[in-house]
Structure 1
Amino acid sequence: MSDPLCFTIAGCTLELRPEGGLEVPPPPAAFSAFRDATDGERMTLHLAAGEPPQPKGECLFASLPVWSLHRAGNGMLFEMLAHHPPRRRSLFVARRRGLRRLWFQGADRDPFAGPALELLFVLHLAEHGGLLLHGCGFARGGRGLLFLGESGAGKSTIARLLAQEGAGEIVSDDRVILRRDGRGGFLLYGTPWHGEARFAARGGVPLAAAFLLRHGREHRKIPLSRPAAVSGLLQCSFAPLWDRGAMAETLRRFDELAGRVPFFALEFLPDRGVLELLAEAPRR
């Protein structure tokens, strides 16, 4: 039987606990920066082979072909990768911070493959005031910059350009987490779920400014209104769309963030000229 594995991401320790002699493969290299346990928030994810005993009920949401969400007993059940039988798996999460178990139905029993861990964090962050976003995060001099964008917007390009400058740390080039800092601001964290440029670091720096990435014909930084910033956040978020109450709270969090941090549209070309624009102190 594999020993439990612990990873701390955005201040929350996730413990993976295999059951029934299940062997867990080594984690991907990107998880190495997160490999430890800390005091504070904690989640335990049990890992088992077989079918979940909870009966699958009404479908609440679907992001096919990758996953679908269903009612199941006293909780919810995410069915994942059904279109790829060797990797088929189901994540059961009981209501009110209860049991979490990932069931493997296929021969591939790698918990790091597929969306299970990210979905688990979406649920956790919705309950604990955080946000998981499509974004590149950059930390320098004790302050963080966030570059939001969907696939193809240029997150990995910005990450590579900033890395070439060598004056800071890329905490992620694809998925970042924001959490309140307890003083009215937000902290920017990296995650192990990287993009093409493969940057992954812990982060945890105060967020100074956010940029919505756009391809352009020149380098331009355009201040965004609060509603436009909220719209950009929604477009680039991993939000609990299946839960009306959680979505209402998520939108309030977006509005709070847009009121606290300067937001800009960043139109840019894929060259180092954009770095001069970013060197200017952000102001509304």
Structure 2
Amino acid sequence: MFPRETNLGHTQRLTIADFTLEAELAGGTADLHLSEAHRRFQANGGQADIHLRFHYGGMPDFPRDAPIFVSGGPWSLYRRDSRNHIVLALPDTGRPPYRLAELNSSFSSGNVYVRPLEEAFPEHYPPGRAQGPTAFDPFEYPLDELIMVNYLAQGRGVIFHALGLVDQGRGWLFVGVSGAGKSTMAALWKESGALLLSDDRIIVRPREGCFWMYGTPWHGDGGIGVPDGAPLERIFFLAQTPENRVQSLTIRETATRLLVCCFPPFYDPAGMAFTLELLGEIAEATPVAELGFVPDPGVVEFVRGAA
């Protein structure tokens, strides 16, 4: 879970969607390492847009009154005195949190506390076995994505459930919920010569008078995720049908479908208002269609012709 073979250090940086995230270890003997998916996004320097100080060992207390949001999975969000507290804990186990992030109101800086692995996951470290490794991944999912979702919602962008690719300089977004066919479509395009940005999560943000889309480390079944970006030229909503077809959509239909397939901060009124406005702008500015497709290589040329 925490390999030690390469990439060790007390500081690690990523660049995602042209934003730099910096993780700094606040003393101690532990090291930070990056997963294979994150190493593709590794940055060597530059000013950090998001700065996180990591503390390995002790875990401070956190607000235990009503949470702002409970995911139903491993994370919950609390807020106190304009500080955001993301609490990561294994659900339905009664165990204490294994990570706690205390972040400022804009999610751009804060402290992250990491419980020692032998305490957080004792089943992997029975009595008599050596203690857990002291190299850990600071950007381990879902914390990195949660911070980015909320950071983007401060007027910067949005994350979609989508396959993104660049074909002959044209940026296309294939949007769909789980099971819609993103991984299938990615596999069909793999030998096409197109640059695949991600097969599951794409960031879209305004830049230079248009919308740009970027790959992310949060890949799907195909393991595809690169840091490149490109101007967004067309959006396709995926549907699996008996034959290849495209069907135009209204701006209202597009905005509604985009909302279903994005990561909006429902618990943040200001962030939600920005996200809804941004989705409307994307829907109005971008050609959109529903793409019904057969899982066959012929869909590649069909899409090229339709676009």
TM-score (norm 2): 0.84
Q: Check if 1:13 corresponds to 2:20.
A: yes
Alignment match of 1:175 (pick from 188, 194, 201): 201
- How much has 1:9 moved relative to structure 2? 0.5
**C-alpha contact (below 8 Å) 1:24/1:111 kept by paired residues:** no
Does the 8 Å CA contact 2:246/2:306 hold for their aligned counterparts? no
- CA 1:5 to 1:160, structure 2 compared with 1: closer, same or farther past 3 Å? same
Report the secondary structure of 1:57's partner residue: coil
Q: Does 1:91 align with 2:108?
A: no
Give the secondary structure class of the aligned counterpart of 2:258: helix
Give me the CA root mean square deviation: 2.1
Within a 5 Å distance, the mapping from 1:87-236 to structure 2 comes to: 88-96=98-106, 99-107=109-117, 109-165=136-192, 167-183=193-209, 185-236=210-261
Q: Distance in 1 between matches of 2:78 and 2:12?
A: 28
Deviates more, 1:127-136 or 1:22-31: 22-31
Residue of structure 2 in register with 1:70 after alignment: 78
Q: Identify the range of structure 1 (250-259 vs 109-118) with the bigger mean alpha-carbon deviation.
A: 109-118
Kindly provide the CA deviation profile for residues 90-120 of structure 1, in whole angstroms up to 9, marking residues without a partner as x: 2221224564222223516433333100011
**Cα pair 1:134 1:175 within 8 Å, conserved:** yes
* Amino acid paired to 1:228: E
Percent identical pairs in the alignment equals 33
Residue number in structure 1 paired with 2:291: 266
Counterpart amino acid of 1:186?
A: F
SS at structure 1 position matched to 2:28 = coil
Query: Tell me, what secondary structure is at the counterpart of 1:214?
Result: strand
For 1:103, the aligned partner's letter is: Y
Q: CA deviation at 1:217?
A: 1.4
Is the contact made by 2:84 and 2:102 (CA closer than 8 Å) also made in structure 1? yes
Residues of 1 paired with 2:97 and 2:240: CA distance? 36
Instruction: Give the direction of change, closer, same or farther, for the CA distance of 1:22–1:104 in structure 2 (3 Å limit).
Output: farther
Distance 2:161 2:30 in 1: 31
Amino acid at match of 2:173: L
Q: Count residues with an aligned counterpart.
A: 280
Q: 1:105 to 1:72 in 2, by over 3 A?
A: farther
More displaced stretch, 8-17 vs 26-35: 26-35
Give, in whole Å, the separation in 2 of the partners of 1:97 and 1:113. Answer: 17
* Local SS of the residue matching 2:179: coil
**Residue matched to 1:33:** 40
Residues 24 and 280 from structure 1, CA distance in 2 versus in 1: closer, same or farther, beyond 3 angstroms? farther
Structure number with greater Rg is 2
Amino acid at match of 1:210: I
TM-superposed CA distance for 1:190, in Å, is 0.2
Q: Hey, what does 2:30 align to over in structure 1? A: 23
